[in-house]
Structure 1
Amino acid sequence: MKRCLMVALDGLRPDMVNATNTPHLAALAARGTRFANARSVFPSETRVATPSLITGCRPGGHGMVANTLFDASVAPDRLLRTKLVEDVLAMAAGGETPLQRPSLGERLARQGKTFALVSAGTAGAARLLHPAAERLGSFRWNVEDTEGATAAEVRDALGATPPHATPNTARVEFAGRVLIEHVLPRHRPDVALIWLSEPDVAFHWAGLGSEATLAALRAADAVLGRIIAWRDAQPDAAEIGLIILSDHGHVTGHGKMSLREELCRAGFRAGTGMGTDVDVVVAPASAPGLWLRDAALAPQIADYLATQNWAGPLLARDPAILAAGRVLPLSLLGSAHARSADLVVTFAGDEEPDHWSLPGRAPFDAPDVPDGGGMHGGLHRAELATVLVMQGGAFGAGIVAEEPADLTDIVPTLLHGMGLAGEGMEGRALRAAYRAADDAPPLRETLEAPGNFVLEAMRAAEGGRLYPTALRRAG
């Protein structure tokens, strides 16, 4: 395999891939290798998932621990929002990137290969996906770019970028044109990644099964169809692999709330920055982080949350912050880092169908998402399940692989297929991508979690990494 095209459909649930919603993806999955047990990382958020994909490491390794987080050494009075380039660069503290592991672009450059990124997502996510673009002299373009040589290059070639809309269909379609009409013929990268912001945007604002959402999903699939057609028309089509992925799934938000306000009502001094009148900094999310002025507050907060029927188990950067049996360590999921919150709250979701008959609902804390909108970030089965399909090039045909996989395994698999080195990553090359005989079903286990919950999980081998599958109530 000499080249590879990666296509990310942000937030796509695998149970929504079918001949009606996604005809091109469904057909490609039947022709290639589909990973039935593909999962996200925790937290299952885009700017945690993108570094995990591009570095082949989980958050504890690369250091991007949440979409929204608190770091007193960077901004003591406010939360950092990683969708913003300025906050990503603030976290880098004068360096190129806050990521603490090399990216795919860097790995390819060391081996004489090139990488290009086309992104219809946020500018911060694009920076995390290709942080070394300027230093390497390679292509990185995002729909929010208005300044600089790359923005001018795209504008001169294809005209102005459409404005943001909900759904974000026009920008998704334009990003497809940037890749197919400009990047692939002009730059001819060895590996290219296009990040499509749909169906995630529509899921959040219109709900998982709305007509607007399904139209946005079909539009994203149509972009994929044009990419497949471009690949198939190339003289070296047999040497070009395709990897189609989603970074996380979605549940339907059911019971919107503000954890900060709930904590304040319970008598805690909670806020969004560590001011003189704040003891607990809260980052809203589907798995909100709590940064404590004093670790002695942890037992009090845990006692309060244990009385709330919407609260699931707590996770901690340092589990010694609470008595044994009261908290799960973030390290269990590969998510413990110096930037991690002292405590991470989970919400108690269920498997009940939403009003579109899609299973999975959960409370959430997101000020700008309506109740009933799609959400992700936690450990619900529907948040963790992802799409992963590999086809063409060195990849096998007509395989439904059972081996566990997550985002960190994708780049090692890509590099292996191209005959390139991939040392130093936590992920592993997925052998079933190339040969059905190398597939093996996962070793499944169930771990007890505080508060009468259980965590379903998988391993590829005895003693191997844990792949979380679902957090649910016991019984």
Structure 2
Amino acid sequence: MITMKVLVVSFDGLQPSQINKDLMPNLYGYLNDGVTFSNHHAVYPSVTRINSTSMFTGRTPGSHGIAANMVVMRDYDPNSVFSVLQPVLEQIRTKLGDVLYVKNIGDILSEAGEKFIAVGAGTTGNSFLQNPNAHKNGGAVVNPEFTLPYDLEKTLISKFGEWPAEVVPNEKRLKRCVDMMTEYFIPEIDPVVGLIWFSDPDKSHHADGVGNEIGTAAIRYADQHFGELVERVRNNDKSKDADIIVISDHGYSTIQEVIDVRKELITAGLLQNEEDDSVLIAPNGGSALFYVKNSDKEITQKLINTLMEFEWCGPLFSSSKVGEFEGVLSTDLIGIEGPRCPDIAMSFHWNSEKNKAGYPGMIYSTGGDVDLGTHGSISKHEMNNVLGAFGPSFKKGITCSTPTGNIDLTPTILHILGINTETSFDGRPIKEALINDINPDEVKVSTTEHVSENSQTGYSQKLVISSVGDTKYIDYAERTN
């Protein structure tokens, strides 16, 4: 009996240009027989944990409540910048009742009597946010450092042993993910939807740069394990007709210079010292999020004026808490407006120059090192990521250029399954990719440009958004002066 209907495979940090005959012959071949989405979008900031959350809620960051990898959550602790990882997420749930503001695909499937199983080799925060309520909705989350339900870890260790040590590339852990899904979860637990999250090439891009030897090896390993995964899935009667959806969370850029934003603001006189808490800064690679004490408008104006003077400052966005400022665009336009929205979001200035390996996209970053990979910005090189699909529900051998986004994953899966829900989404089911549904050229697409300029500093910027109906996708934003 067929029980698995959809399997999602995520390659963390994979770029569309890396899917080719040389680097990824397995993935390239399968997508040639299915659907390749050439205009796919991450949510902003282009970091993993919020994009993972958006994938499996169908909502933008402002709606689901996870603002970035590094955040301040004022409803949890207004005085602390922290990394969104499983231990602190557990504490947030204990204090607030729920981590997210909305239902997750695991919750929705549970209401329909079905299971969602997520197995991943990434960070604990990424895994946890894929199904935070797995301990009570009948699903499961598996990560090298924890499981939901908590007692599942003992079962998995008894069957597979301890996780291999993490290395770069993370080849052995990727294989363990494949083994767990195909040798235990599919045959014994019967999930209707499964997820495997490959931590590469992301970890390797951070460690060695985009297009360099280690990153290239990581992509090849990931493709080998993907090929093995598909073969096993197709040879199991419970999953042989599953639709397989391939996705990445974000694209990539190369670091041209590392910026210590707090140090720069101290030098500029905005902050007094490292202990000055009038502005908290959450570093997120290609972006920095600013939380102004009491959302004070005067301090915020000084912050904006100061940032605009730096050449590394790119697009700027302000929340409804602090209001409008000349030259600054609204966080509502980019999907991060909400109760946990930062007062100011700044993406670093970027360009399309190529790195030493020939990959376009250079940017300033809050961390890492020059010539290594990073992401988090609103650059077109990071907002454009991977989506592809093949299986009985999808059209064959087409490239779909209509705008799509990570927020479309959950609505599309539920549409394939025929599961109706009262839960609302910011994304949409991608019907133009499905058999016996509309064709891509029937989809009405609009593009909108939002521009702003500060008359005093000369700072100017442009934001480009594509829309399909009410669903909006960020193409990019850039500083234009």
Paired with 2:319 and 2:263, the residues of 1 have a C-alpha distance of 23
User: In 2, are the aligned partners of 1:89 and 1:96 still within 8 Å (CA)?
Assistant: no
Aligned to 1:253: 255
Paired with 1:96 and 1:63, the residues of 2 have a C-alpha distance of 13
Residues 193-232 of structure 1: matches in 2 within 5 Å?
Answer: 193-232=195-234
2:464 aligns with one of 453, 456, 461:
456
User: In 2, are the aligned partners of 1:268 and 1:279 still within 8 Å (CA)?
Assistant: no
Paired with 1:318 and 1:114, the residues of 2 have a C-alpha distance of 38
Residues 277-356 of structure 1: matches in 2 within 5 Å?
Answer: 277-285=276-284, 286-293=286-293, 294-318=296-320, 321-323=323-325, 325-356=326-357
Aligned to 2:456: none
State the Cα distance separating 1:145 from its structure 2 match: 2.5
Q: SS of the residue aligned with 2:95?
A: coil
Residues 21-170 of structure 1: matches in 2 within 5 Å?
Answer: 21-82=23-84, 84-95=85-96, 97-145=98-146, 148-170=150-172
- Tell whether 2:396 aligns with 1:397: yes
Q: SS of the residue aligned with 1:239?
A: coil
Paired with 1:319 and 1:103, the residues of 2 have a C-alpha distance of 27
Paired with 1:15 and 1:456, the residues of 2 have a C-alpha distance of 22
Aligned to 2:426: 426
State the Cα distance separating 1:363 from its structure 2 match: 0.4
For 1:44, the aligned partner's letter is: S
- 1:338/1:95 CA distance change after superposition, 3 Å: closer
Residues 83-109 of structure 1 show CA distances to partners (whole Å, capped at 9, x for unaligned) of: x21221233353553111101111111
Paired with 2:13 and 2:6, the residues of 1 have a C-alpha distance of 22
Residues 406-441 of structure 1 show CA distances to partners (whole Å, capped at 9, x for unaligned) of: 111111111111111144122111111214752136
Q: How many residue pairs end up in the alignment?
A: 466
For 2:465, the aligned partner's letter is: A
Residues 432-469 of structure 1 show CA distances to partners (whole Å, capped at 9, x for unaligned) of: 121475213632333214433222221124xx333111
User: In 2, are the aligned partners of 1:443 and 1:459 still within 8 Å (CA)?
Assistant: yes
TM-score (norm 2): 0.92
Deviates more, 1:327-336 or 1:73-82: 73-82
State the Cα distance separating 1:195 from its structure 2 match: 0.9
State the Cα distance separating 1:138 from its structure 2 match: 2.5
User: In 2, are the aligned partners of 1:14 and 1:387 still within 8 Å (CA)?
Assistant: yes
State the Cα distance separating 1:278 from its structure 2 match: 2.1
User: In 1, are the aligned partners of 2:140 and 2:147 still within 8 Å (CA)?
Assistant: no
Paired with 2:473 and 2:122, the residues of 1 have a C-alpha distance of 26
Paired with 2:421 and 2:240, the residues of 1 have a C-alpha distance of 23
User: In 2, are the aligned partners of 1:52 and 1:58 still within 8 Å (CA)?
Assistant: yes
State the Cα distance separating 1:322 from its structure 2 match: 4.1
Q: SS of the residue aligned with 2:356?
A: coil
State the Cα distance separating 1:178 from its structure 2 match: 1.4
State the Cα distance separating 1:271 from its structure 2 match: 7.5
Q: SS of the residue aligned with 2:102?
A: coil
Aligned-pair identity (%): 27
For 1:383, the aligned partner's letter is: E
Paired with 1:51 and 1:422, the residues of 2 have a C-alpha distance of 18
Q: SS of the residue aligned with 1:466?
A: strand
User: In 2, are the aligned partners of 1:290 and 1:344 still within 8 Å (CA)?
Assistant: yes
Paired with 1:30 and 1:98, the residues of 2 have a C-alpha distance of 39
For 1:175, the aligned partner's letter is: C
- Tell whether 2:381 aligns with 1:382: yes
- 1:97/1:170 CA distance change after superposition, 3 Å: farther
State the Cα distance separating 1:146 from its structure 2 match: 8.0
Paired with 2:144 and 2:362, the residues of 1 have a C-alpha distance of 31
Paired with 2:111 and 2:91, the residues of 1 have a C-alpha distance of 27
Paired with 2:220 and 2:67, the residues of 1 have a C-alpha distance of 31
Paired with 1:342 and 1:55, the residues of 2 have a C-alpha distance of 24
Residues 428-447 of structure 1: matches in 2 within 5 Å?
Answer: 428-435=428-435, 437-440=438-441, 442-447=445-450
Residues 390-417 of structure 1 show CA distances to partners (whole Å, capped at 9, x for unaligned) of: 1102111112112111111111111111
Residues 354-376 of structure 1 show CA distances to partners (whole Å, capped at 9, x for unaligned) of: 1111111110102xx22211111
Residues 312-334 of structure 1 show CA distances to partners (whole Å, capped at 9, x for unaligned) of: 121111275343x4211111111
Q: SS of the residue aligned with 1:269?
A: coil
Paired with 1:171 and 1:238, the residues of 2 have a C-alpha distance of 24
1:472 aligns with one of 465, 471, 478:
478
Paired with 1:71 and 1:105, the residues of 2 have a C-alpha distance of 24
Paired with 1:189 and 1:271, the residues of 2 have a C-alpha distance of 53
Residues 243-291 of structure 1 show CA distances to partners (whole Å, capped at 9, x for unaligned) of: 100011111111111111111111122778xx6x421111112211111
- 1:227/1:174 CA distance change after superposition, 3 Å: same
Paired with 1:76 and 1:429, the residues of 2 have a C-alpha distance of 37
Deviates more, 1:130-139 or 1:253-262: 130-139
Paired with 2:376 and 2:421, the residues of 1 have a C-alpha distance of 28
Cα RMSD, aligned residues only: 2.1
Q: SS of the residue aligned with 1:446?
A: strand
- 1:55/1:360 CA distance change after superposition, 3 Å: same
Paired with 1:416 and 1:146, the residues of 2 have a C-alpha distance of 28
- 1:473/1:326 CA distance change after superposition, 3 Å: closer
Aligned to 1:360: 361
Residues 219-260 of structure 1 show CA distances to partners (whole Å, capped at 9, x for unaligned) of: 111121112102222346663110100011111111111111
Aligned to 2:13: 11
For 1:431, the aligned partner's letter is: K
User: In 2, are the aligned partners of 1:199 and 1:216 still within 8 Å (CA)?
Assistant: yes
User: In 2, are the aligned partners of 1:319 and 1:329 still within 8 Å (CA)?
Assistant: no
Deviates more, 1:184-193 or 1:432-441: 432-441
User: In 2, are the aligned partners of 1:282 and 1:289 still within 8 Å (CA)?
Assistant: yes
- 1:159/1:320 CA distance change after superposition, 3 Å: closer
Paired with 2:176 and 2:272, the residues of 1 have a C-alpha distance of 42
Paired with 2:193 and 2:273, the residues of 1 have a C-alpha distance of 43
Paired with 1:134 and 1:78, the residues of 2 have a C-alpha distance of 28
Paired with 1:74 and 1:154, the residues of 2 have a C-alpha distance of 33
- 1:332/1:271 CA distance change after superposition, 3 Å: farther
User: In 2, are the aligned partners of 1:18 and 1:26 still within 8 Å (CA)?
Assistant: yes
User: In 1, are the aligned partners of 2:427 and 2:471 still within 8 Å (CA)?
Assistant: no
